Amino acid sequence: MDTRKTIQQHKQVCTFVTERRIKQSLDTLSDMISQATEGGLRDEYENLVMTYRTMLTYTIEGISDPERNKVYAKLMQSILWLSDRTRQDILSHYSGWNTYWVKQQAEKEQRLTGKTIVETVDDLMFKSELDEWLRLNSEINPDPDSEIARKHKQLIRNIFNHLWLTDYYGEAEDSLINIILNSGKFRWYESSVFTTAVTLSAFRCWQTEKLLSLMDMYDSGQDQVRERALSGLVLNLHYYNGRILLYPEITARIREMAASQAFREHCRIIVLQIIRSRETEKLSRKLHDEILPQVAKLRPRIEEKLDLDNILPGDRNEGRNPDWSLMFNDSEAIFKTMEELTKLQMEGADVYMSAFANLKHFDFFGEFQNWFVPFYPDHEVLNEIFSDEILGPGTNQLAEAMYKTPFICNSDKYSLILNLKYLPSSQKSMMLKVFRMELEGLEQLGNDEFMTDPNYKFRISVTQYLQDIYRFFKLSPYRKEFEDIFSGKLDIYNSEFFRLTCNAPEAEAGLADYFFSKDFFDDALLLYRKQSAARPDDAQLYEKMGYCCQETGDWEEALKYYRMAELIDRKVWTIKKTGLCLRRLGRYDEALGCYLEAAALEPDNLHTTMMTAHCYLDTKEYEKALNHYFKIEYREPGNLKILRPIAYCYLALGKPEESARYYERLSAGKLTAHDLINMGHLALCQGRKKDAMVLYRQSIASGEISKEQFVTLFGEDRSLLVSLGINSDDLPIILDYLLFSIG
């Protein structure tokens, strides 16, 4: 059985229903049901088909039915419900997933109680354990190795699994959630995990009651629980975006909650943090491909500069090495990047994903719910280091610092604790010192932030929780059993939920500017376009829209927006951007006009001078191009790059001696493949054909261009070579000679 086909068909049914393509949804659903094992599904399907055909007949015959819209809405809900159940039936029998194995084990245990149908909380297989725990003193904190603790741990697991694996909630689940929220017998971190179970259950099987339960959990006002509940709600509302409007009880409750400014702000925080997850892969690649290799390269230089082998014979009390500052000058880019990463970390970016990705192999993460448990100082995992000779005495401080640090998510905190015992003694001691310092700094940081940002704690909890979920979907051994909610565009700003809660102009403006700052130009442009309808006279808005189009290569659209901005507020910057677009579109004379106008407004701007020179180069006015390039050479005598166009202009003007002089100066730096080709052309003009062949071969051997690319470039330069006196009949022969010589 191809379960992937079932998953895809289920998505198609959902899409067809939300697009009101009911006949196609029914046809696809029929094929799904043919693979299912539950016989009753086909009977339900036939009833739906009969209902729809009757409705169609009444409509075509012109029979008025005041209930038609209600029947139609109910029909769509019923098709979705039937497709959900069919999907679950097929996956439970044929997928082989851990999810359904755990579900089947729980169902076996439930049958042993003699109550196979769970209607009330009294029917739950773990009801006796639950009652026993509820009878205990609320202050009890049993020994982790005691029988009470063992039973309680199993109770937590059973509650989590029940809330996660129950397809459709009823009275029993409502009562259970009420006990969790209001009994006062469950610790905050236990209630937090149960909240995640509801979120995952909603992902697995849609039900309005589950989303309403998440809303109740948010309204409960319990810290950590409400952050997780609203995060789970937002993710589910985005995931099921096409369904939301079919369930008025959901939209009505959201509108009611959206009347609160605090709720809207909390939603905005969560939406922004979810969108930030799009940066995670890019940040991981940057860390892995750029920063770490550069740091590794720096290490031998550190050893050399600090003369590590001769430390002991010298004076241990000598001052700091004056060479340190010089040593790090060459690595300024690394430190700028590290500073950038630190800033991103403070904003909530997930900079540690790659660092901790390989620390999820511990047995701890083999237990499903542990991917979502909040870090707290009394967790039994800390027993791993209590007995450690070095770490043991500082365990409490370490745990407290770990608990309070806002920059590491819960999942990574557990990874770090579990990995500590494997570190060498020297590193363990260093870690203790680091965390003592961290604890001191965090006390002040927390107080300062709390004073200036009333949503500080909410923001931190949301950030850490969403990063926990991100790790689960990307790294956990169970990830293949879930659709990755972090793949795709995550365009929550296009969802019905966002329109119901966060559709204030300032919210969209803030998101648009965030996208713009992070180079998500397609998203930024979409939001800027929406804003332009309400702000038609905002020149800066059109400038940003033009820049978005420019960065995505849509030069015609970019030109349109830049010109709209010019009509409102004519600036040198916009004039030059217009020139850039015209140049990219091959409209060189118009582009030149723009840059000449910009040059008249800011005659000392080197960038404008350079672009004007480029335009003259495009229009083959080489003498004028040279005059402008010379200005740059005069202002920046150490700039080797300016020698390149000067040498080419002299070549195009038929002045080989001057061109050769500049190419010789250019050779002091690294020659590109194109430099070597042009120097080959120069050699041809001077009658040095063998030298030309050597240079042409070097251009291909550089690896920058292929043999085929060289042939194309050589063909494009044919008219230039002929204008310089090379016999056109010789050019094919020269090219073939070269190709024979390189094989």
Residue with tokens 């540690």: 352
Res. 310: pLDDT tops 70: no
Is residue 486 within 8 Å of 203, Cβ to Cβ? no
Tokens of 335: 């430190």
Specify if 515 maps to a domain.
no
Is residue 52 within 8 Å of 26, Cβ to Cβ? yes
Question: What percentage of the chain has pLDDT greater than the value 70?
Answer: 88
Compute φ and ψ for 476, nearest 5 degrees. Answer: -70, 155
Q: Tens digits of per-residue pLDDT, 248-270?
A: 999 999 999 999 999 999 998 99
Among 94, 129, 155, which residue terminates a domain? 94
Q: Are residues 7 and 49 in the same domain?
A: yes
Q: Which of 484, 493, 388 is nearest to 432 (CA)?
A: 388
Q: Tens digits of per-residue pLDDT, 388-417?
A: 778 777 778 888 888 888 888 999 999 988
Is residue 205 within 8 Å of 167, Cβ to Cβ? yes
Q: Are residues 170 and 216 in the same domain?
A: yes
Q: Which of 432, 442, 374, 371 is nearest to 404 (CA)?
A: 442
State the CATH number of the domain containing residue 679: 1.25.40.10
Specify if 349 maps to a domain.
no
Is residue 341 within 8 Å of 335, Cβ to Cβ? no
Q: Are residues 90 and 135 in the same domain?
A: no
What DSSP string runs through 530-574? HHHHH-TT-HHHHHHHHHHHHHTT-HHHHHHHHHHHHHHS--HHH
Q: Are residues 140 and 84 in the same domain?
A: no
Among 257, 281, 310, which residue terminates a domain? 257
Specify if 347 maps to a domain.
no
Res. 133: pLDDT tops 60: yes
Q: Tens digits of per-residue pLDDT, 232-241?
A: 999 999 999 9
Average pLDDT over residues 714-732: 91
Q: Are residues 82 and 149 in the same domain?
A: no
Average pLDDT over residues 36-64: 92
pLDDT number for residue 504: 63
DSSP structure class, residue 461 = H
In whole angstroms, what is the distance from residue 287 CA to residue 293 CA? 9
Specify if 677 maps to a domain.
yes
In whole angstroms, what is the distance from residue 485 CA to residue 476 CA? 14
Res. 295: pLDDT tops 70: no
Average pLDDT over residues 523-536: 90
Average pLDDT over residues 179-192: 93
Specify if 474 maps to a domain.
no
Q: Are residues 110 and 127 in the same domain?
A: yes
Q: Are residues 139 and 213 in the same domain?
A: yes
Q: What single-letter amino acid sits at 300?
A: P
Q: Are residues 108 and 229 in the same domain?
A: yes
Specify if 698 maps to a domain.
yes
Average pLDDT over residues 196-206: 97
Among 195, 227, 257, which residue terminates a domain? 257
pLDDT number for residue 297: 52
Average pLDDT over residues 94-103: 93
Res. 118: pLDDT tops 80: yes
Res. 352: pLDDT tops 70: yes
Average pLDDT over residues 539-548: 94
Q: Are residues 87 and 110 in the same domain?
A: no
pTM for this model (two decimals): 0.80
pLDDT number for residue 591: 95
The number of folded domains in the chain is 3
Specify if 579 maps to a domain.
no
Q: Are residues 56 and 118 in the same domain?
A: no
pLDDT number for residue 669: 85
What DSSP string runs through 222-246? -TTHHHHHHHHHHHHHHHTTTTGGG
Average pLDDT over residues 449-471: 87
Q: Are residues 112 and 234 in the same domain?
A: yes
Residue 646's contacts (CB-CB under 8 Å, 6 or more residues apart) are 626, 629, 630, 633, 662
pLDDT number for residue 222: 87
In whole angstroms, what is the distance from residue 514 CA to residue 108 CA? 51
Q: Are residues 144 and 54 in the same domain?
A: no
3 state SS for 680-710:
HHHHHHCCCHHHHHHHHHHHHHCCCCCHHHH
Question: What percentage of the chain has pLDDT greater than the value 90?
Answer: 58
The answer to which of 56-65, 312-321, 693-702 has the lowest mean pLDDT is 312-321
Give CA separation, 237 vs 92, 288, 493, 730, in Å: 25, 34, 12, 70
Residue 661's contacts (CB-CB under 8 Å, 6 or more residues apart) are none
Note down the domain range covering 27.
Answer: 3-94
Res. 712: pLDDT tops 60: yes
Is residue 49 within 8 Å of 61, Cβ to Cβ? no
Specify if 12 maps to a domain.
yes
Tokens of 297: 């390269």
Give CA separation, 34 vs 7, 30, 44, 431, in Å: 14, 6, 13, 60
In whole angstroms, what is the distance from residue 339 CA to residue 321 CA? 24
Average pLDDT over residues 275-287: 75
**pLDDT averaged over the chain?**
86
